[in-house]
Structure 1
Amino acid sequence: MTISFTGTIKKDQTIIELADGQGTLTISSKKVAPADNSFKLYFQNRHCIGIDFAPKEFDTLILVTLPWEMEANYLSHSFLALAEENRLPISKPKETAKQIPANVLPKIEETREQFLHLLTTLGYFFLPAETKKKKPAKARHRWTKEVSEIPFTVHFRGSKATLYWKSRNEMLVKKGATMMAEAPLNKDGSVSYAAKYGDKLRADHQENISGNKTTADIILKSVNEVSLFLYFGGTNSWLEILDENGKSLDEWTRVD
């Protein structure tokens, strides 16, 4: 894994900024000023002993700050889940974050692995080496010219659209698609990452949208973007996009 970052070393803290605005680590031996969309990791002798809850004693605090499009409470929850899975003695809040939605989980776990790799490189350890578990391989899909000519449809959460996977990074949503009118909120009433990103995609194409229908063909970059644009995710969309015979895009393109 290759991670690009820049670092700033001050008297009692080090600031690591990941490339492309992917997040920031503020490493300090003292208290760190709170920041929006962030959570804290506590270390003693370079081993993590607390997540978003200060243990009685610690010698290093690392503030993890994320860009707006990724919810920090989901990432902290992912760290907690990994700690519980490996039965690590971690100080944690009495109330932990809500369950991570399925459509967000792959990105959250990918980001967690990136931060774990960076922390280990810097000499801060979350898991003992012998207990670290391998992440299961994600399903891979391959675009082909044959697939690019097939009209697929999706009906989910009140949305309805015809799609073409035109090239590797180009999915076409045909004019006249019906989108889910409003994104569902989280159980606690907060706005989810999926809702924020879906609204952003709609704003990017607002000149081709009237109400909850598209008025022109729209090009998006991936199946994930299509799902967020049409119905704010919430499912494995590779299985929801079907040809006229009910064969899914996953079946057409999956590489085992």
Structure 2
Amino acid sequence: MQISFNHNRLTLTFPDNLGSLEIRELSDDFDPLAQLVPLYFKGNVLVAGEKQADRVLIFHLPETIDPSEFDKQLLSGSISEAQDTLTQSYISKITPFLDKLGYSFTTTRRGDKASKTQHRFSKSLIDIPFFVAYEGATAEIYWLKRNDVLIKKGAKLKADIPLNKDGTIGFSQKFAMTLRQEHSASINEAFITTADIHLKSVNEVGHFLYFAGTNSWLILKDKSGLTLDSYTAIK
């Protein structure tokens, strides 16, 4: 198992293409895509939702594993006839790694957890331009692959960094500044991009353009005003 730490985020990559697990601060927003399963914890105890938590554990599952079945089996041990063999086998393979973390996945029931909406990438999105006009930021965007979101040349970035109430720079802002630094050669003094920018997620797009702080799935809209959320949300 490989372990890495970046941007206050601990990532554990399981061997044999078994996916990965991220342990993040709550302030570190994420894109709840189809193969992500977020679980909220206070310390090492599973809690009902984000309001009671101080961290989030996010499982990145292989495409062969059904997220809802994984969530159900991991937390309660229940097994459906359609998924028992595949999902149970997967959980048994990653359990030795999970046991070493000290988190309790089954002793506390979450009840009616207010989970974030999941979104699924589709190849039908590739040729659809989505536009941003928010907080002074403007951009034309294409979602090309699951982990490839294109911001077309000529995008305008929000210039002013929003600060915390105490005047400090928050975690999300630091992450946004890191993204901008990585692409600094393609951003001019007027905060206009001079080349196409490729990012890994809608979440990164929101940070890069306007320092996040809102639901970017509702900010990106097609030419008729339909949101990216309306195209991709899993009902």
Cα RMSD after superposing both structures: 3.9
From 194, 219, 223, give the equivalent of 1:215.
Answer: 194
Please say which of residues 133-142 and 221-230 is displaced more in the overlay. 133-142
Letter in 1 for 2:184: Q
Distance in 2, matches of 1:201 and 1:226, equals 9
Q: Give the letter for the 1:79 counterpart.
A: K
Asked whether 1:151 is paired with 2:129, we answer yes
Q: Which residue of the partner structure matches residue 238 of structure 1?
A: 217
**2:56 aligned counterpart, secondary structure:** helix
1:129: Cα distance to partner? 2.7
User: What is the CA–CA distance in structure 2 between the aligned matches of 1:222 and 1:191, rounded to whole Å?
Assistant: 22
Deviations 1:198-236 (A, max 9, x none): 111111111111021101111111100100000010001
Question: SS where residue 165 of structure 1 aligns?
Answer: strand
Q: In the alignment, is residue 109 of structure 1 matched against residue 53 of structure 2?
A: no
Q: 1:202 to 1:250 in 2, by over 3 A?
A: same
Native 8 Å contact 2:139 2:152 kept in 1: yes
Match of 1:247 among 204, 218, 226: 226
Structure 1 residues 254 and 107 mapped into 2: Cα distance closer, same or farther (>3 Å)? farther
Please give the alpha-carbon distance, in whole angstroms, between the structure 1 residues aligned to 2:207 and 2:194. 18
Q: Matched residue of 1:242: which SS?
A: coil
Higher RCO structure, 1 or 2 (CA under 8 Å, sep 6+): 2
Shift of 1:85: 7.6
1:193 and 2:140 are equivalent in the alignment: no
Aligned partner of 1:163 in structure 2 is 141
Per-residue CA deviation, residues 161-196 of structure 1 (Å, 9 max, x unaligned), is 111111111111111111000220111111111111
Alignment length (residue pairs): 173
Deviation at 1:143, TM superposition (A): 1.9
Per the alignment, do residues 136 and 216 of structure 1 end up closer, same or farther by CA in structure 2, a change over 3 Å counting? same
Deviations 1:78-104 (A, max 9, x none): 738x89989xxxxxxxxxxxx99xxxx
Q: Would you say the 8 A contact 2:47–2:109 is kept in 1?
A: no
- State the secondary structure of the residue aligned to 2:159: coil
- Distance in 1, matches of 2:232 and 2:139, equals 20
> What are the residue-to-residue correspondences of 1:86-105 with 2, within 5 Å?
none
**1:138 Cα shift?**
3.3
Instruction: Tell whether the 8 Å contact from 2:26 to 2:54 is kept in structure 1 after alignment.
Output: no
Relative to structure 1, the CA distance from residue 159 to residue 136 in structure 2 (aligned partners, 3 Å threshold; closer, same or farther) is: same
CA shift for structure 1 position 107: 10
TM-score, normalization by structure 2? 0.60
Note closer, same or farther for the CA distance 1:239–1:197 as it changes in structure 2 (3 Å cut). Answer: same
User: What is the alpha-carbon distance in structure 2 between the residues aligned to residue 73 and residue 230 of structure 1?
Assistant: 18
**Distance in 2 separating the partners of 1:229 and 1:168:** 18
Counterpart CA distance in 2 for 1:232 and 1:214 is 16
Matched, 1:20 2:4: yes
Gaps of 5+ in 2: 12-21, 29-40, 59-94
Cα shift at 1:132? 4.7
Q: TM-score, normalised by structure 1?
A: 0.55
Equivalent-residue separation in structure 2 for 1:246 and 1:202 (angstroms): 27
Residue number in structure 1 paired with 2:87: none
